[in-house]
Amino acid sequence: MKYAIVQSGGKQYKVSEGDILKVEKIDGEKGDLVSINDVLMVVDDQNIRIGQPNISGAWVKGVIVGQGKAKKVIIFKSKRRKGYRKKQGHRQHYTALKIKEIKVT
């Protein structure tokens, strides 16, 4: 089984070909091709390649299958005995990618 560890939006993800991955928002329309060049590690059947920090000549290609917003996260702040209460909500934008190819040259 071939998989890679990639970095996108300050987070690291383990991806295989055919996976659908939700990453921080990437500009583009549905059906656009996206290339991720920050590949930290690639594991083939018997070969393991680890970058320092990235592997030069390695990339992961994917297709945008959707743009959207994640579930709402509630932020609630209060101070005891002061009557201070504040409630906020946040929905993070994301891009759903379908991984097509993991390539190392």
pLDDT in tens, 19-78: 999 999 999 999 999 999 999 999 998 899 999 999 999 999 999 999 999 999 999 999
Q: CA 83: distance to chain centroid?
A: 40
pLDDT given at position 88: 98
pLDDT given at position 33: 97
d(CA 4, CA 64): 18
d(CA 32, CA 64): 6
pLDDT given at position 99: 96
pLDDT given at position 87: 98
d(CA 85, CA 77): 6
Q: Do the beta carbons of residue 64 and residue 29 sit within 8 Å? A: yes
pLDDT given at position 46: 86
pLDDT given at position 1: 83
